[in-house]
Amino acid sequence: MLYIFDWDGTLVNSVARIVSSLKLAAHELSLEMLSDQRYQEIIGLGLKEAVDHLYSGVDDAMQSAMRDAYSKHFVAADVAPCPFFEGVTETLQQLRSEGHHVAVATGKSRRGLDRVLAQLEWQDYFHATRCADETASKPHPLMLHQILQQLDYSPDEAVMVGDTTFDLEMARNAGMRRVGVSYGAHPVSRLATSQPMAIIDNFADLMHVL
């Protein structure tokens, strides 16, 4: 079985850091300050798509400046990696020990994911990873198709685990089973609209779903 995971809000507790960095970037550029909920709702998208969604009324130069400012503030705050949610490392290790493949499909940039994996000394931990700036952003299924092809799995041999509807809709668009987590960026009521096979409250509960 192939287990594919979102990163932010699913494996690591980074939602607050992302929201804070977006707010700092908006303040720096004198852009409208939005609610925490508005910033939280776009977590999971690629950075370009997220900024386009939040600030569609500003010109391309300002959107580019917002992306650069966010990246600067996030990297400055991310000297130490965000912590894993409870049960993540143990569950991932159990999946690997049982012979399953594990992969990451994330809205992070390749540079950002590689940086945090290096901090964790996990450069070779996952069997495959895909990032939004090297393929299509969620909820387009391309990054899942690429992971399936790389590891030689069919959609019915894989499951996507994520904390946003972007994750779950990407999996549905790929014809893949999907599991939501209740503790991330999107509320359970929103996750349920994507008809996941389960919504779990603790990452370790994944072992009881399939």
Show which of 25, 57, 77 is a domain's final residue: 77
Residue 93 near residue 122, CB atoms below 8 Å: no
Containing H/E element for 2? strand 2-5
Q: Is the dihedral of CA 191, 40, 31, 72 positive or negative?
A: negative
42 and 134 co-located in one domain: no
Residue 133 near residue 46, CB atoms below 8 Å: yes
58 and 93 co-located in one domain: no
Q: What is the pTM of this model?
A: 0.94
Show which of 28, 48, 77 is a domain's final residue: 77
100 and 61 co-located in one domain: no
Local confidence band at 145 (pLDDT 50, 70, 90 cut-offs): very high
Domain that holds residue 104: 2-13+82-208
3-class DSSP state of 105: strand
- In degrees and rounded to multiples of 5, residue 128 shows phi and psi of -160, 150
126 and 68 co-located in one domain: no
Local confidence band at 184 (pLDDT 50, 70, 90 cut-offs): very high
CATH number at residue 186: 3.40.50.1000
119 and 20 co-located in one domain: no
Average pLDDT of the residues of the chain: 96
pLDDT tens digits along 67-90: 999 999 999 988 888 999 999 999
